[in-house]
Structure 1
Amino acid sequence: MLDLIKKVPEQYEASLEFVDFKLKRFKVDNVIFCGMGASGVVSDIVKEYLYDEIKIPIIVNKNGDIPEFVGRNTLVFIISHSGKSKESLKCYKKAKLKRAKIIGITANKKLKFKNKIQLPDDTKYGRVVLYYSLFPILIVLNKLGLIKDKRKEMMKAVRAVKGFKDQKKAELIARKLYKRVPIVYSFFSYRAVAYYWKTQLNELSKVFVIQNFFPEVNHNEIEAKNNIGKWEIVNLKENKRDLASMIYYMYSADWVAYFLSKMNKVDPLKTPIIDKIKKK
């Protein structure tokens, strides 16, 4: 697992060259992301990052159906590292029937798309789909004229994670979380990053996590703070939607989850319950 985490900066950088097909611009009324697990999380990150810029609706679709409004002017991203996610494949079939414009993102070489972002098939670690697909999605949206060119921001983000030096801080956070219920809070603008923290701690460290954002916390959840046993808050204090900052916080989550998995004496790469569900 440690080797995989250390490769993350390289994977972000390599992904800058993955969009190797030409795209004709067309009228886009809305964008739909279809993906589960990490494929859904990267969709959340894109939607959050572009909140103040993109002028059309973005829907993150984490199930096997698609909204009724999907049509010829809908851009649909089908994201699945393995290319075998049942929900994503169902969405793909339904989007084709509605004649939506589809872009596939997968490491599965057998899965055919007219427009496809082919991810490297260099690991069985499915969450790598996030590191490999975030930048290509932004590149595609720029090619279609929906957002500004993000290359400078992407390179800044690569430099940020390459220069990551907070391993000791991450280990300290993991120690504070050990044998406690992690509560990950953020501002509204970083709720997708906080959700990434939650999912990394869930899957890698095998712990239950509460995640929410301000100011919503102040309207309900705050009343329950004295009734959840032993807990520890991780407060993501950043508020500006900056790509480098968002990715840096996410990379911090990778390290914290890794250290906590060691303390919990669990294998971060094994997901027996998830694997069992997928086989059904």
Structure 2
Amino acid sequence: MSAAVIDDLNRMREIDKQGMIDLVVGFPEQCERAAGLAEEWMPKSGLDGKPDVVVVCGLGGSAIAGDMAAAVYADVLGCAMLTNRDYNLPAFVGSKSLVICESYSGNTEETLSAYDDARRRGSKVVCITSGGKLAENARRDGVDLVLVPGGQPPRSATGYMFVPMMFVFEKLGVAHSALDKLSGAIDLLKHAREEWRPESGSSGNRAKQLALDLFGKIPLIYGSVGITGVTAFRWKCQINENAKAHSFANVLPEFNHNEIMGWEGAAAQSGGFAAVFIRDASDTSRIAERIRITSKIIPEDFPVHDVAVEGANALEKLLWGFYLGDFMSVYLAICYGVNPTSIAAIDRLKAELAKLP
């Protein structure tokens, strides 16, 4: 694939008809708008003490915000936290639990079902959405509601889904320490954008170079538990939806106990695999050594790419990694000549499900 393909801005516009790249470029400002909206929000009622568990209910681009929060607040949250991607809540969720229902559209059927389940159990519920049935239900039931702007693909609205959750945590007294780092994280993204934006040529553009490296490949993306693991999963999902290509993600050290063996016979399946290790300078020495040794175990016929997240703290590293992956996945879509916004298979599935009783 020639670099000229993703440096041709006219061709990019012809393929990216709905302007996904513009939404990616505007992500730092989206985070700023989300902060302004959430700052004005005040909960209708507080929590009766610390929650026994925090559960974020959502799917797809809305659910990833729960994974982000769990990674950022891992060292300060005084209880368990999980993302629930299902119709029903786990049995241990009850009246002392905080349940955050996230659906950008407000019409995600699994999240609406989980909302009803949380209400039946007497959990403290907060909804973050742009409208739809979730907003209607929250207003009807007098449930806390954070409204965000709508009108764009959920996977491009991560700032609207994640940043308000930080304010929810702060204002309910669940966790602190991350919100004061948001401004610095946004500044970091704006600085990175100068290198990764479409007008920046591929020779000095890390996002474009990654797209060119992964074109025609099946990316297997690896991180470790926490920041880089969540980032790896985000990259996988963005490649799936934006580039319409298969990609898979896993985390160390678990990967070293099973999937590593797949590389032994990988050539018999496909010659198109490519490994991507997302690492952090703060990784423990054991994780760093696992990455080093595993990179050598992967057969030489398969390319291995190394990406080190940048930033001074967990929030900066997470958002930096997400932002790089978002740019890369759109550029990869351009390489494949596919519209990064369209999601025909998902739309067809939803239409078929809507016909069922």
TM range (shorter): over 0.9
Q: What are the Cα deviations for residues 37-86 of structure 1, in whole angstroms up to 9, with x where unaligned?
A: 01111111111222222111112100101112222211111110111100
Q: Does 1:197 align with 2:218?
A: no
Asked if structure 2 preserves the Cα contact closer than 8 Å seen for 1:166 and 1:252, the reply is no
3-state secondary structure, aligned to 2:42: coil
Q: Does 1:176 align with 2:213?
A: yes
Amino acid at match of 2:42: F
Provide the rounded CA distance (Å) in 1 between the counterparts of 2:72 and 2:149. Answer: 25
Provide the rounded CA distance (Å) in 1 between the counterparts of 2:252 and 2:195. Answer: 25
Amino acid at match of 2:273: W
Query: Which deviates the most, 65-74 or 197-206?
Result: 65-74
3-state secondary structure, aligned to 2:26: helix
TM-score, normalized by length of structure 1? Answer: 0.95
Provide the rounded CA distance (Å) in 1 between the counterparts of 2:87 and 2:103. Answer: 13
Amino acid at match of 1:18: L
Asked if structure 1 preserves the Cα contact closer than 8 Å seen for 2:72 and 2:178, the reply is no
Amino acid at match of 1:203: E
Q: Which residue in 1 is equivalent to 2:69?
A: 46
3-state secondary structure, aligned to 2:157: helix
Structure 1 gaps of 5+ residues are: none
How far the C-alpha of 1:109 sits from its partner, in A, is 5.9
How far the C-alpha of 1:239 sits from its partner, in A, is 5.2
Asked if structure 2 preserves the Cα contact closer than 8 Å seen for 1:26 and 1:144, the reply is no
Q: Does 1:14 align with 2:56?
A: no
Q: Which residue in 2 is equivalent to 1:215?
A: 253
* 1:1-280 map, 5 Å: 1-19=20-38, 20-22=41-43, 23-27=45-49, 28-108=51-131, 111-112=135-136, 113=138, 114-121=143-150, 123-164=151-192, 165-167=194-196, 168-189=205-226, 190-225=228-263, 226-227=265-266, 228-229=269-270, 230-238=272-280, 240=282, 242-279=314-351, 280=353
Provide the rounded CA distance (Å) in 1 between the counterparts of 2:240 and 2:281. Answer: 24
Asked if structure 2 preserves the Cα contact closer than 8 Å seen for 1:188 and 1:213, the reply is yes
3-state secondary structure, aligned to 1:211: strand
How far the C-alpha of 1:26 sits from its partner, in A, is 2.2
Q: What are the Cα deviations for residues 116-159 of structure 1, in whole angstroms up to 9, with x where unaligned?
A: 110112x2312233211212111111222221242321111111
Amino acid at match of 2:92: F
Structure 2 gaps of 5+ residues are: 1-19, 197-204, 283-312
Amino acid at match of 2:176: K
3-state secondary structure, aligned to 1:18: helix
How far the C-alpha of 1:260 sits from its partner, in A, is 0.4
Provide the rounded CA distance (Å) in 1 between the counterparts of 2:102 and 2:255. Answer: 31
Identity fraction in percent = 26
Q: How many pairs align?
A: 279
